[in-house]
């Protein structure tokens, strides 16, 4: 008899999607979040691309980005970010059933809320980076066709994967299951780090975008306080074979320093530190 999957990473994406959209309890939340993604990401991007001269577009590159090599083979990890969240939730649904559904519903709704919140920055000031026009792989062709590349700060890729691992852990804590699932929690956290590194390796984001995303998540997510953010930063590029230890440390230091710069402004309008930062950068 085949043993049930004990690894969130090996959870079937198709089965997880079926568990979510096949549930009358979860379906409306999933559809609402999907609508928020299209409204606050795709629609806003194409609006900006079609009427570019009407909007501010800040160039958010940093010199440290050049110390991270372009690695096209990381594209599959990069594109997996939504399914990464879905598999984590699918794992919880399969393993804990009805006990987890209320928590998973809240987590799904929170993804739609993240896109809406990030849209509050994008609609006032778009942002972009210098990305290679690399079309040798079909997945990059898809990226260039469907992503006008105008929404870099804050990085929704990073926001979503942070939400995935913090919610995964929080749900297990609420189910009083954290102690028996330490390896699964660590696995999801490492997956979030891998996707965060991938967005830098394939040049879809700058190191500045990581700081902005982490700051946004600290403002929105009680399970991602500054202490957890510091731990997350310290996990980046720890096993990188293509970045020197010195450069990796410099990258981590910059991400952490800029994160603190945003956080220490303590403004009631969460987006203001990001918009103020974007104003200081060159315009495209």
Mutual angle of helices 98-122 and 156-174, in 10-degree steps:
150
Q: What is the pLDDT of residue 268?
A: 92
Enumerate residues 6+ apart whose C-beta is below 8 A from 107.
89, 163, 167, 171
Q: What is the pLDDT of residue 108?
A: 98
Q: What is the pLDDT of residue 93?
A: 96
Q: Is the distance from CB of 88 to CB of 168 less than 8 angstroms?
A: yes
Domains of the chain, residue spans: 10-279
Q: Report in angstroms the alpha-carbon separations of 58 from 3, 130, 145, 270.
A: 51, 11, 21, 19
Sites in the chain below the pLDDT cut of 70: 1-5, 177-180
Helix H or strand E encompassing 59: strand 57-59
Q: Is the distance from CB of 45 to CB of 191 less than 8 angstroms?
A: no
Q: What is the pLDDT of residue 53?
A: 75
Cα separation, 200 vs 254, whole angstroms? 14
- Furthest CA-CA distance within the chain: 62
Q: What is the pLDDT of residue 4?
A: 54
Helix H or strand E encompassing 126: strand 126-128
Helix (H, G, I), strand (E, B) or coil at 64: helix
Cα separation, 57 vs 125, whole angstroms? 6
Cα separation, 96 vs 101, whole angstroms? 8
Q: What is the DSSP letter of 57?
A: E
Q: What is the pLDDT of residue 2?
A: 40
Closest CA to 127 of 64, 213, 193: 213
The answer to whether the Cα torsion of 214, 205, 118, 184 is positive or negative is: negative
């Amino acid at each position: 008899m085949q043993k049930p999957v004990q690894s969130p990473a090996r959870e079937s994406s198709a089965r997880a999607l079926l568990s979510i959209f096949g549930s009358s309890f979860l379906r409306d939340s999933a559809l609402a979040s999907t609508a928020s993604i299209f409204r606050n990401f795709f629609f806003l991007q194409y609006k900006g691309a079609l009427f570019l001269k009407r909007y501010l577009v800040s160039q958010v590159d940093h010199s440290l980005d050049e110390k991270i090599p372009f690695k096209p083979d990381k594209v599959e990890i990069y594109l997996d970010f939504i399914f990464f969240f879905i598999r984590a939730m699918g794992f919880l649904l399969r393993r804990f059933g009805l006990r987890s559904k209320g928590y998973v519903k809240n987590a799904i709704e929170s993804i739609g809320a993240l896109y809406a919140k990030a849209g509050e920055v994008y609609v006032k000031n778009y942002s972009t980076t210098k990305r290679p026009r690399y079309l040798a792989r079909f997945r990059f062709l898809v990226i260039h066709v469907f992503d006008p590349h105008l929404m870099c700060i804050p990085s929704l890729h990073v926001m979503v994967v942070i939400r995935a691992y913090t919610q995964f852990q929080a749900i297990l804590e609420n189910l009083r299951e954290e102690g028996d699932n330490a390896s699964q929690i660590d696995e999801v956290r490492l997956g979030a780090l891998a996707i965060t590194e991938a967005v830098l390796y394939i040049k879809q984001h700058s190191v500045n975008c990581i700081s902005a995303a982490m700051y946004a998540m600290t403002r929105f997510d009680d399970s991602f306080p500054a202490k957890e953010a510091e731990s997350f930063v310290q996990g980046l590029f720890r096993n990188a074979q293509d970045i020197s230890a010195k450069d990796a440390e410099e990258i981590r230091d910059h991400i952490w320093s800029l994160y603190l710069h945003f956080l220490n402004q303590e403004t009631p309008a969460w987006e203001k530190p990001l918009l103020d930062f974007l104003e200081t950068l060159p315009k495209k």
